[in-house]
Structure formats: C-alpha cells, structure tokens
A and B are shown apart, each in its own frame.
Chain A
Amino acid sequence: MKFRHGRWLLALIAALTLLAASCGGDDDGDTVEAEDAEETTTTTEAEVEDTAEAEDEAEPAEGEDEEEAAPVVRADADLVIWADDTRTPVIEPLAEAFGEDNGISVAVQEVAFDEIRDRLQTAGPAGEGPDVIIGAHDWLGQLVTSGLLAPVDLPNAGDFSSVAVEAMSYEGQLYGVPYAIENIALLRNVDLVPEAPATLEELETVALDLVESGEAEIPLAVQNDPGDPFHDFPLYTAAGGYLFGQNPDGSLNPDDLGLDSEGGLAAAAQFQAWTESGLLTPSLSYDVMIESFGEGNAPFAITGPWAVAEEDRGFKATGVNYVVEPIPPLAGTTAAPFVGVQGFMVSANAENPLFAQTFITEVMSTQDVQAALFEAGGRPPAHTAAFEEAAAGDPDIEGFGKSGVNGQPMPAIPAMGSVWSAWTDAYALILSGESTGEQAFTDAAEQIRTLIAEG
C-alpha cells in the first residue's frame, strides 16, 4: 500500500510539473511578425528610480550606480531604444511613427540615465542590449574603447553645430547623432545688477560690494561642494588654464596635461585669490546655489539650463528677474565652459543595425524632429536651424547658446574619471585653505599622471 501511495504521489507531481511548466514556458521565442506592428510599441518601466537631480546629468563620472537594480532585459521588438525617464515620452511617439511607417515593431525602454552606459557594457556583449541608446558624448571614451558602439554615417552632419559633431566623434570617427547641447553660463540678477559686467574683475567688484552693503548674501553662486571642476572650468580657462593639449589631428593628448602648466598654475593661484577675497564660497552645494540665486540672495550664478527649468525652485518658477549671458573674460582671456552633447548612438551589438541606423540618421536628425525634441524636452537642439528657431522664442536658450559658442566639448577619453576625481580634490583643498593653489594643482597633476600610467 505504501508503494502504491508513493506511485500515486509521483504521478501527481509529474502531472502538476508538466502543467506548471507549460503555463510558464510560452513567453520566449516568437519574434513579433512585421505585420502586427500597430500595437507593439511599448514602454517598459524597467527601472523606477527616483530621478536624480537634473544637475547630475551634466556631471560626468560622479555618482556611479549606488544600488544594483534588477537587470534590464531587451524588449521583444525589431527596434529597441533605451532612454531615460525624461526622454522616453519624447522619443516614444516618434519611434512609434517610424515603426508604423515601416511595418516594424518598436519598443522604448526606460532606463535611468547613468545606468544606460553601465548596463550597455554587460547587456550589449551578451546580446540582450538595445539597438539605440540615448547617451552623453563623454561616455564615448569608455564605450568606444570597449567596442560597444557602431560608427554612424551622418550625411547631413553639416546641418549640426560643429562643436556637437566634434563632441560626438571619437578618434576621428562619428559615433552618434547629436540632439542637444548643454553648457553652463552666467546668470545675472537684473534687479541687483542692471548692467552686465564686462570682465571678471568687474564682476568681482560688483558682487563683493553688494554683499558688503547687505543687499546680497552670496557674491557668486557657483557650486563647489567640496570642489567642482565642471562648474569651475570657465573660471579656470579665463585665468589661462587648459586641461589637455591637442594632437595635430585635433584629438586630445592625454600626455599633455595642463593642470600644472604655467597657465594652469596661474589659474590655480587666481582661484585661491578668489577664495580669499570671498568671491567663491566653500561648501556651496547645488541646493544652496539654486535657492540663493532663485530667492534673489545672490547677484550672479554660474549654472546650466537645468537650474532654470527645475520645477519648484528653478529660476523660472521663483520669478527672479534674471538674464543668461556668457561668462565674462579675465584680462582679455575668454572663459570657456565645458559643452556636453547628448545624442543617439547605435550599439555595436544591435540586433537590427540597419533599422537603428536608418532611424537615427534619417528620422532623428531632421530639423522637424530636433525641433519637436526641443518642444517636448526643453534642451537646446544641436541642429543649427532648429536651435535658431528655438533661440528666437526663448532668451534663455539664446543666452546659453552664446555662452556655449566659447565652449569646448568635455573630453571623452576614459582617463577623465581620474581627472574628475583628482581635480575635485584639488579644488576642495584650495577652498578649505588646506593647500595653496599651486600645491594643490601640482599634486592633482601628479595623481592623474600616476593613474593614467597605472591604467
């Protein structure tokens, strides 16, 4: 009886196993047929992470993924695009229309911005990655040297701002269709300072006088918590510094590091002087920057379009009377901000590279689409005609654009990670008074050289 009982049990288990297995097993395989494309555009909420503050998007190499989240699995579609939460709704209708026109299925998957790069490194080679990603140009160094992106051939490259095309190129090869240019500029409180200062010296005098008289609390709101080479870069270049020298072909030469060059050290000394005069405030975080300028407690700020557009405390929302203009020069030397370019790139492991290339070079690169992307997302377009159209209706865009004309693309070489790290430390040491400018920059240059040699 015992034996019979056991057999009965095994049969039941086997039957249930088969039943369960057949229920769970039908979600793999079948690719979507071209015919039923109408209903297959989907957004997968692969990731529900709180949106990092808008500033983070311009901040390179900081805040690597803090918590590992569940892996993103490639959606089942002919053309798969990875975009972040702010861009997904913008791209989706365009991608959908492209899919419908061509009878293919399209999926836009939402992935947190910083994670697009990290996830592509694991998912791409495993064949589970997307065909198209949205990305920042300073990812190119890592992604291209790791062999994760396919070159892009853009016939109408001439329609785009040259700095954007330059930024999207790595070692002479174009790797993406640029769509937005972002850079920082000077924001001036018109109520406190009616006339634009012509030079940084003048700006310093005006700002310090206003603090002296009690009309303002912070002379120049530029974030430095504890140090911030990205936001300090225009001050550094205006004082005569450069980051990397250029090879004859225009590419960057990592062996020619400018931090401890003559100009670099002079800029460091100038930075120290500004710290001592009180123009620059230590431990000034992004939050303090946006709140002090937004509430009229700072006559000047150096920041980007994200601080203008932020929902509750952005400068548009607080109603502060401001203008956006280029950062003034110092002793005749132009202040050059870093320019960040965002665009569409094609994975080297794309399942359908031809659709991906067709989509980004023939759809996303047109003036209409670039203008539509601006309408929906508010980021200044990389397409020249679309930019001019946008700037005509928006003085902020025009101001940031003018500031960007002086700018240079943020370097994309993989060694930038170590540059940000060491350089941030150097600024922190100057601001806390722990090191002199020259000492801090000499040490930072030494650290960067060591790290590059180690790598």
Chain B
Amino acid sequence: MLPGSVTAEASGDGQRPSRLGGLTLGLLAKVAFLATVNATSIWALGQLIPEGVWLGVAFIVVSTVAIDVIYLTKARWAIPYKYLLPGTLFLVAFQAYPVVYTAYISTTNLGTGNILDKDSAIEQVVSTSVGSTESDISYAARAAGSDDGTLGLILVDETTEPPSVLVGTEEGVTEIASEDVVYDGDRVESAGDFTALTLAQAADFEQELAALEVPTEEGVIVLKTFSRAAVVGFRLQYDEATDTMTDVETGVVYRPVDGYFRADDGTRLTPGWEINIGFENYRRVLTSEAIRGPFLQVFVWNWAFAAATVALGFAVGLLLAISLDHPDLLGKRLYRALLIFPYALPSILTVLIWQGMMNQNFGIINKLTGLGTPWLTDPWMARASILIVSTWLTFPYFFLITTGALQSIPKELSEAARVDGASGPQAFRQVTLPLLLIAVAPLLIASFAFNFNNFNVIYFLNRGGPPIPGAQTPAGSTDILVSYTFRLAFESGRGQDLAFASAISILIFIHVALFSAWTFRKTARLEEI
C-alpha cells in the first residue's frame, strides 16, 4: 500500500491537503490533457498513415513525444518549454508550414491544366479523346452474373428485328439463342448462363463493372450507364515503353514536355500534369515584359498606401487619444466607446458601405453635397478615397493603444519639463512622444506589414480601380501587389495560375519580412533612450 494514501486516510480530518486531493486536482487535469493529446495523435496517425502523409506523421510523432516528455519530466531544463512548447507547435503548424508549402508550390506549375499527377492525366487524355473511331453502336444493357461468379453484360441490339440478345464478358460476345432468353416485361431477365443483377446487387460490383471491357471487332463495349452500353474507340493511345501518346487516326506522336503531351508542331493535349519547374515562376515575375509594365507603379503605390495608412491612422488615433485624455472632459467613456466602432465592425462590411457612399452618381456623399466628385473613378481621387477608408479602419486601433500608453506615462515627467520652461507642444514632442513611441513602435511596424497586404480594402472598395489606361496587363491605379497578383494569377490567360501566385506571395513575404526585421532593429535602438 502506498504510504501516501495511508496518511491521507489516517489524517482525514483536513489538517493538510491530502495527497489524494492534490492528485485529483492538478495531476488529474494534466493526465486528462495528456491523454487527450495522445488520443488525438493516435487518431490522426490512423488517418495519415493510410494516406501516406509521412511529413504529417513525423510532425505528430515528434510533437506528441515532446509534449509527453516535457510535461511529465520533473527536470529543471524543461520548465521554460512547458510554457513555450504549445505556442511553438502552433507556430510551426499554422505559420511555418504554410510558408514552406507555398514555397514548394511556387516551384511547380500547379494551376489550370496541371492539377493531376501524370498517371491520372494520361488516363484522362485517353478517356476523353474521341474521333471517327467512336462508333454509334450502342445497346440496351444490363449488368449480369453467371452462376460461377463471372461478371458480364446482357446486351440487346435494338437495331435488328426482333432484337438480338448477346452476352458480353471479358472474353468477347456471344449471341444467345432466343429460346434461352427469359424476359421480365420488356427487360431481359436472364440469357444463357447469365442472370441480370438488380442495381442493388450491381452496386457491390460497381468498380468492376465500370472497368469491364468487352472486346469486339468494332472496338470495346463498355457500360455507359446501368442500362446502356456502347462501343467506344479512343483516338489517342498511350505507349508505356516510349512514354508517348499516339493519335491512331493521324499518326501524330505526342511526347511529354513541360507537363503536357506535345506534338512536334507545339499543339498540346489536355489535361497536363503537375511537375517541378524550379525557379521558372520567379524568372517570369522578374523578367516578363507584361508583368513588369505596371509593376513599378503598383509597387510604389503599395509602399505609399501602407506607410500613409499607418501614419494617418496613428496621427488621428493619437490626436483623439490626447483630446480624450483631458481630465475635464465629460462623457469620456461614451466617446471612447463610440470611437471603437469602426474597429469593431467587420472590415469587409465597412468597406462595402463606403463603396456605396462613394459611388459617383448614386452615392450618398455626392447626393447630399451635389459635388459630383469622382471618388472612385479618378486615379488620384481613388487613391485618396482608399486612404480615407483605410484610415477610418486603422485609427481606432491606434486610439486604443495610445490611450493606454499615454496613461502609463507618468504625468510628472511632462510637468517637470514644463517647470523647466518647455512649452506644452515642446514637452509633448520631446518627452511624451519618445516614451510613447517606445511602446507603440513595434505595433506601427506590425500595422505596416498588415496594411502592406490589406487586400480587403483595396479589392472590395474599388477592385484596384480605376484601370490604368494602356497597361500591358490589366492593372488599376490603386492595385497593391497582392491584388495585382490576384488578377494575374486568377484572371490569367491560362485560367488559374496557383504556382505563379505562390511565387509572388513568397517574394512579398521576403520583402515584408526583411523590412520588418530592419525596422525592429532600428527601434531596438529607440528603447535605449
């Protein structure tokens, strides 16, 4: 018997917390937590292993073992990890992995036409090829089985009078003498050794029936539906030995080049398949004439938009925070609550409302003022409108932050400056503002990084418009890199170009990451003041 439990029973009058009590509360929660984690992992492994997702399997095994070890050990080194581990695992799963995966996609040709793997693509190319070898011979058909378990088709050739009944199996077709055919109403119930299957019975052999090919002189008979079969002939045939596709009609040979079967004259067969093309997408981004056209303008505006949004949002937020910081102001709480509104509403909704208000002919702003301002159709007005809306969405955040930060700066500091003879604005600029910036600088950087990719405002306010006249590819005066990428990737000449979009995303990611790292270093110096 455990000494602990003896004590617990013996001294059950509550002089000190019983060991069992300690176990129930803290340990039991821990045990339940770890058990849940392990159970989830086992369940997930059960799903992942049959699918062969080895990366996921490795991640789950490593992280589960790490969690078990770190939360069970009493070693001192493990204590910090008890706090860090969950966050780190989520970071890897939801931040690092998507970046790595996007980087991987950017080296492929994934997009419309190149979604399948090669084997499926070959199958599709062949099965969708039709030509003059496609005959019009079709039969009323029923799936059937013989007593010895062979699958076959009962085929009724309705072109003859009376209709002739055939049985087709993998070996071929045999005509059945009419005395061996049993009818059930119009339908053949059995023919020779074969008895028709009900659909419920046929359902069990669905895959086999779909794959059943009955050879005849005219071609292969396959089931088209459960009541019809037809002779099919495919125009294209795949030769595994040479890895080529041949058009049996014209004799043209197609060879696999860059993810498609292509003939010597360049015509290609669809679908193609996904292949790795290395840095081709990056080369295209950097060298393509068409993309480079509006790229510089988009890039410059992107910077201006992100910087101006943060600057304006911060300025307005700070101004309001200072005004509402005044001790004599009545109804402070009400104002503060009201000012949070633009932040509390879903941004897409706000943007769409602004879009309606700014409509040149029917928007409420122009209707009330009678100005006829081209808010969204003139390039410079549209840029101004974007900034108005993005400032509207950003300032409450900075208002909140600076209100808090201002209250944490001791009033004595600016009062001391005043005593030393500084004017109000001077004291603010030289004492309060630097202290404030220490607190908010990282948030300014974060806000910049967020606004740099603020697709919602750009796309839903004006779809990046108004269009730039004469641009090499469709682009708008307020397009930023993400919205421009969106156009290039999803409205491209090919359909959807996911790999290309990934390549641009990675470039934007590197760009923003480098800039953020650089500014964080800069602001680290600020803190030394």
A binding-site residues for B, Cβ under 8 Å: 1, 4-6, 9-10, 12-13, 15-21, 24-25, 28, 34-35, 37, 61, 64, 66, 78, 101-104, 121, 125, 141-142, 144-148, 150-151, 153, 155, 172-173, 225-226, 281-285, 287-288, 348-349, 352-355, 357-358, 361-362, 414-415, 417-418, 420-422, 425-426, 428-429, 432, 434-435, 439-440, 443, 446-448, 450-455
Contact = CB atoms under 8 A, between A and B. Distances in A.
Given A16-B39, A21-B42, A284-B362, A454 B493 contact: yes
Interface stretch (B312-320, B467-475, B520-528): B467-475
A12 B30 CA distance: 11
Nearest to B284: A454
A451 B362 contact: no
Interface in B117-131: 117, 120-121, 124-125, 127-128, 130
Interface size class of B (residues with CB under 8 A): 35 or more
A103 B490 CA distance: 42
Contacts of A353: 210
Contacts of A284: 361-362
B204 A145 contact: no
B43 A25 contact: yes
B206 to A, nearest CB: 5
B430 interface: no
Given A20-B36, A285-B359, A361 B225 contact: yes
A21 B228 contact: no
Most B Cβ at <10 Å: residue of A6, A13, A426: A13
28 contacts: A9-B72, A13-B68, A20-B36, A34-B201, A34-B204, A78-B203, A101-B199, A102-B199, A102-B203, A146-B114, A147-B120, A155-B138, A283-B360, A284-B361, A354-B209, A355-B203, A355-B226, A358-B227, A417-B495, A417-B496, A428-B465, A428-B466, A434-B377, A439-B469, A447-B473, A452-B493, A453-B493, A455-B497
A102 B466 contact: no
B494 A147 contact: no
Given A25-B43, A418-B491, A283 B359 contact: yes
A69 B116 CA distance: 23
A440 B468 CA distance: 10
A433 to B, nearest CB: 9
A440 B470 CA distance: 8
B200 interface: yes
A66 B230 CA distance: 44
Main secondary structure of the interface of A (DSSP, over half): helix
B42 to A, nearest CB: 5
A357 B469 contact: no
A144 B492 CA distance: 17
A181 to B, nearest CB: 24
Given A103-B198, A435-B469, A447-B474, A24 B43 contact: yes
B31 interface: yes
B116 A125 contact: yes
A204 to B, nearest CB: 19
Given A142-B496, A146-B270, 20 more contacts: A6-B72, A12-B35, A34-B201, A121-B496, A125-B115, A145-B112, A145-B270, A146-B114, A146-B115, A147-B116, A283-B377, A414-B113, A425-B465, A425-B474, A432-B466, A434-B466, A450-B473, A454-B492, A454-B494, A455-B492
Nearest to A175: B128
Interface string B440-477: 00000000000000000000001101110111111010
A397 B120 CA distance: 43
Most B Cβ at <10 Å: residue of A64, A225, A362, A425: A425
A9 B27 contact: yes
A173 B128 contact: yes
Contacts of A20: 35-36, 38-40
Interface in B341-366: 348, 356, 359-362
Given A12-B31, A145-B270, A151 B495 contact: no
A281 B493 contact: no
B2 interface: yes
Nearest to A10: B72
B112 A146 contact: yes
B83 to A, nearest CB: 21
B145 interface: no
B2 A4 contact: yes
Nearest to A363: B225
B265 to A, nearest CB: 15
Nearest to A61: B491
A150 B68 CA distance: 49
Contacts of A64: 486, 490
Contacts of B286: none
A355 B224 CA distance: 10
Contacts of B199: 101-104
Interface string B1-43: 0111000000000000000000000010001101110111011
B466 A362 contact: no
B494 A415 contact: yes
B223 interface: yes
A9 B198 CA distance: 57
3 cross-chain pairs, A with B, having the tightest CB-CB distances, nearest first: A103-B200, A455-B494, A147-B271
Contacts of B336: none
A21 B493 contact: no
B424 interface: no
Nearest to B268: A145
Contact of B362 (A155, A283, A455): A283
A144 B271 CA distance: 7
B46 interface: yes
A21 B39 contact: yes
Contact of A425 (B227, B271, B467): B467
Contacts of B465: 226, 425, 428
A283 B38 contact: no
A16 B31 contact: yes
A21 B35 CA distance: 9
B290 interface: yes
B469 A17 contact: no
Contacts of A455: 492-495, 497
B127 A34 contact: no
B255 interface: no
Contacts of A101: 199
Contacts of B270: 144-147
A147 B200 contact: no
B374 interface: yes
Contacts of B34: 13
B288 interface: yes
A78 B203 CA distance: 8
Contacts of A145: 112-113, 270-271, 495
Interface string B201-237: 1111010011000000000000111111010000000
Contacts of A4: 2
B290 A451 contact: yes
